[in-house]
Amino acid sequence: MAQYRINDLERLTGVKAHTIRIWEKRYMLISPLRTATNRRYYSDAQLLKLMNVSTLLEHGFKISHLAAMTDEELAVQIEELHRYPSGSTACTAYIHELTAAMVAFNETTFKEVFAAAVTELGFYEAMMNVFYPFLRKAGLLWRTDKAVAIQEHFATCIIRNKIIIATDMLPAPAADAKRFMLFLPSEEWHEVGLLFANYLIRAKGHATIYLGQSVPDEDIRVVKETINPDYMFAFFISPKPTEELENDINLAASINENIPFYISGDGSLIKEVKFKYKNIIWLQSVNDLMEIL
């Protein structure tokens, strides 16, 4: 059984930690357990219950009403939402089911929900309205060293494979299409965000040269001199001192100062960096990426 801190519950359910504590005291909705060292934690079942409550609140239910329900009654109400989903309700239901499947390591359900969302919305719309919000909610885009990492890794591996397959099915870009060179710098391994960006760029008809994980600077230089891309794109996610991150970003930018160098990743790290080159452009969200495409 996984052990969740209250900030894990906040991240996965969208309910503020302060609100969770109020619900504990006022409604006895859930009650934290204690480790041998008296540290508070929550169980899988408590996380799932809070997820159900959070989802139902978004659809007009009152917390006082939900707090009086049994776990089984909450599950029945969730099933009703899933039975006739449409529009934003469908997307919310899919995100809820993906999160629950991730927590339970249920690969079959995770893949079934993934397929259902793609069938209803198409891969592109499902990526934008279901999978990207799910990745943001679960913290899979930017986080590498937080709690419940194994569950995140489980979901990431499935989504990673799905994105690769969908990208391979896209039509070939035109001969004169703009070319993006995408890579993770040396010692960067968290790839799902870069794969997602690669899919979106290709879906918009551009060409990509995808170099993958932990690419040394000298290799980036070789590729740049060989193909002369129109844009470079890299993710910076792994925690490191600001000075070291600043050096990594500016060094990569210096490889080709004459083309835009788009960067993304952990905003809490990047915001401290001083960009020395004018070609560095920080994309802080998927909307920023879509605007340039």
pTM: predicted TM-score of the whole model, two decimal places: 0.77
Same domain (yes/no): 48, 128: no
Same domain (yes/no): 179, 288: yes
Among 169, 197, 225, residue at a domain's last position: 169
Residue 80 confidence (pLDDT) above 90: no
User: In this structure, what CATH number is given to the domain that contains residue 137?
Assistant: 1.10.1240
Where does 169-285 have alpha helices with state H? Answer: 192-203, 217-227, 242-254, 267-270
Nearest Cα residue to 21 out of 7, 35, 11, 34: 7
Q: From the CB of residue 39, how many other CB atoms can be counted at a distance below 10 Å?
A: 11
User: In this structure, what CATH number is given to the domain that contains residue 271?
Assistant: 3.40.50.280
Among 169, 199, 218, residue at a domain's last position: 169
Same domain (yes/no): 185, 254: yes
How many domains, the chain? 3
CA 214 to chain centre: 20
Same domain (yes/no): 61, 93: no
Domain that holds residue 4: 1-84
User: In this structure, what CATH number is given to the domain that contains residue 80?
Assistant: 1.10.1660.10
Q: For 48-67, write each residue's pLDDT tens digit.
A: 899 889 888 888 899 999 99
**What count of residues does the chain have?**
293
Q: For 199-235, write each residue's pLDDT tens digit.
A: 999 999 999 999 999 999 899 999 988 988 999 999 9
Among 40, 57, 84, residue at a domain's last position: 84
Same domain (yes/no): 44, 73: yes
Same domain (yes/no): 224, 280: yes
* 153: its two tokens: 């890794």
**What DSSP letter does each residue of 81-107 carry, written as one string?**
HHHS--HHHHHHHHHHHHHHHHHTT-H
Same domain (yes/no): 132, 224: no
Q: For 137-183, write each residue's pLDDT tens digit.
A: 776 554 444 445 677 788 889 999 999 999 999 999 999 999 999 99
* 260: its two tokens: 């835009």
